[in-house]
Amino acid sequence: MAYSRKLSTDSAQQHSGLNILGAEFEWQNGAACNIVKNPSIDPDWWYPSTGESREFDRKAKAICATCPIRVTCLAKAMENPDEQGTWGGYTEQERHALRKELEDDEG
């Protein structure tokens, strides 16, 4: 599936739940990180800066663990090795490790 870097580089859009990017992103409508449905969520939790990483990762993963579209979200991120932030409960580094593990299993 074609994937938009625009979405991946804008945490406010990715986790806004505003569905402003069109039908291609309708899969996100049920997202637990929808800040319209849950205003207490900070989209930056999915894109932590150095120094805030561990706490923000923990918060993002806790939300992802409750998300009904977690598998779809992770699959979308796995399609794009350059994807940043936490998707489907996996940080960028964890997805890299998972991708390598899957490649090793295939090899």
Q: Which residue from 16, 17, 57, 69 is in contact with ligand SF4, where contact means CB under 6 A?
A: 69
Query: Does residue 33 contact residue 64 with C-beta atoms inside 8 Å?
Result: yes
Helix axes 70-78, 92-106, angle to 10 degrees: 70
Type and span of the H or E element at 96: helix 92-106
Q: How far apart are CA 36 and CA 104, in angstroms?
A: 40
Q: Does 73 bind ligand SF4 (CB under 6 A)?
A: yes
Q: Does 33 bind ligand SF4 (CB under 6 A)?
A: yes
Q: Does 41 bind ligand SF4 (CB under 6 A)?
A: no
**Residue 71 vs 102, nearer CB to ligand SF4:** 71
In whole angstroms, the minimum distance from the beta carbon of 34 to ligand SF4 comes to 8
Q: Does 59 bind ligand SF4 (CB under 6 A)?
A: no
